[in-house]
Structure 1
């Protein structure tokens, strides 16, 4: 019975596969894992010469009511004050800002409920574990979304349910992405 193995290690075309040394291979792997840095667009300001865009937001059944209501109230207030507009993308956001915000809250939980030196009570440890588990389910959300002209600063951050935050942010982006930069935006909540 004839063998079905190839007669040589050369692939079709007769050219052998290039060998990569360990050093080059590691460099290629590291480069592939390294995130590509996007160059942010220059920021813009609200352009009142452009027609106002009405951004309609409706609570999806998957959103938690309390977090959604807080987020929408904040956006409506900013909208009523005439502060919302489409910011140029990609945004100039510092991912370390939200990481540091989360870490400061984590450290505050430990400081209050599970202090070093073995002085924590069983109740304190239980409360710390409960709050840390809750912290894992929330995102550091920009109250005034940077895509709507908000600042990327610590005082603009609050925790929000992860699903609500990410889904709302994506939905807003889908609705405004084709607008000219600087377009004034008004929020309308659909019941």
Structure 2
């Protein structure tokens, strides 16, 4: 587990609770949003490091063990859109949601 990703998730959830924004709603997830987001991140890595193939390979390897995560969870009223997504460690994402 990536401790930074864990702390990120815990802080977001704590902030929502402290601001009385932690309420359960039905989540309306479109799997194409997160798939497309991860493809976008992959393309961004390739473009960003196109002059450094070693760095591209390293970053793409890291990306394989990451998931798009909703910053504000869908069940807590978050939107299923790029602006509400961030890449985090897949272990942390799948165990804390």
Matched, 1:113 2:55: no
Moved >3 Å (runs of 4+): none
Number of residue pairs aligned between Structure 1 and Structure 2: 97
Taking structure 1 as the reference length, the TM-score comes to: 0.48
Q: Which of the pair has more CA radius of gyration?
A: 1
1:145 aligns with 2:83: no
User: Which of 16, 20, 38 matches 1:78?
Assistant: 16
* 1:165 counterpart SS class: helix
Residues 9-20 of structure 1 mapped to structure 2, 5 A cutoff: none
Gaps (5+ residues) in structure 2? none
1:67-87 Cα distance to aligned partner (Å, 9 max, x none): 100111111112212111111
- Note if 1:129 corresponds to 2:57: yes
How far apart are 1:156 and its partner, in Å? Answer: 0.8
RMSD between aligned residues: 1.2
Unmatched segments (≥5 aa) in structure 1: 1-62, 115-119, 170-191
TM-score (norm 2): 0.92
Question: Deviations 1:19-45 (Å, cap 9, x if unpaired)?
Answer: xxxxxxxxxxxxxxxxxxxxxxxxxxx
